[in-house]
Amino acid sequence: MKYKSISTFADLLGECELQEVTIFDIAQKNEANLDDIKVNEFRKIVKKSLNAMQDAVKSGLKSKEMSLSGMCGDDCSRLKSFYSDSHALFGTIFEKIVTYALAISEENLRMGKIVACPTAGSCAIVPSVLIAVSEEKNISEKSQIDALITAGEIGRIVSNKVSLAGAVAGCQAECGVASAMSAAALTQLLGGTPRQILNAVALALKNLLGLTCDPVCGLVEIPCVKRNAFLAVHAVTACELALANVESKIPVDEVVDAMEQTGKLMSPMLKESSQAGLAKTKTAVRLEKSLRK
């Protein structure tokens, strides 16, 4: 297959249904053509990202090292201890997802090796879901790579319309897009069709519109670390609704348009500047003064 320019989700779905192939089939062939490499070489590159994600989970689970600010770093350890005594209401997979999300996020704030997916601040949402579910359901590495390529294609198409940066469109463009990518990856992993995958993306993203980026002390710590865990679970909800054929009445391309508009309307004070919102609560201001000292 020659390179096919795809800039919208409608284009992507049209190609998938015309050729009767998956999203990752289209994506990996296009990426290989763009890089002038073979598909199996491209998949090896994706495998390196998958392995790095797995390593970040392992490292994060072992460490209780605090960040330089001293504000974050031991929440994963606390959660592990809690689950050792009292299991999650939603079961083992839920336990793994939220624990892995904290583990990876805390690796990021320790300056450990992570995969920006799509950004460093949202790095735990895709891998926590992908790895946890794959472990519990004994899913092959090939299928995990397929799912990760699917997630990447979702992020690529969204980025054609909106810059994936909190400073441009708030956290809806970082953790919001990551949750949509995660929903896509999981839906692919569980055998969803291209149409169901894109519906999962729409469901995840539209329910996070307006999510602000107001980090305390200007650091990717509060609320970023815990937000990764929350939005990983959000992705699972979107996936299961999509697999049940619960549809978003607003098409995914229009949801992305709405996200772009919302980002433009959002105050600059709520877009990574730490000038308002959570970053300017009384406690946040006190923490900021303490760090300056």
pLDDT confidence of residue 3? 59
pLDDT along the chain (293 residues), means of 10: 80 97 97 96 98 98 95 97 94 97 97 97 98 98 98 98 97 98 98 98 98 97 98 98 98 98 98 97 97 89
Q: Using omega within 30 degrees of 0 as the cis cutoff, is the peptide bond preceding 118 cis? A: yes
Residues 6+ apart with CB under 8 A from 90: none
pLDDT confidence of residue 5? 84
9-292 has which CATH code? Answer: 1.10.4100
Structural domain spans, the chain = 9-292
What's the pTM value of the predicted model, to 2 decimals? 0.97
- The Cβ of residue 58 has, within 10 Å, a number of other Cβ atoms equal to 12
pLDDT confidence of residue 240? 98
pLDDT confidence of residue 45? 98
Per the CB < 8 A criterion, the answer to whether 208 and 172 are in contact is yes
Describe the crossing of helices 175-189 and 224-243 by its angle, rounded to 10 degrees: 40
What does the chain come to in residues? Answer: 293
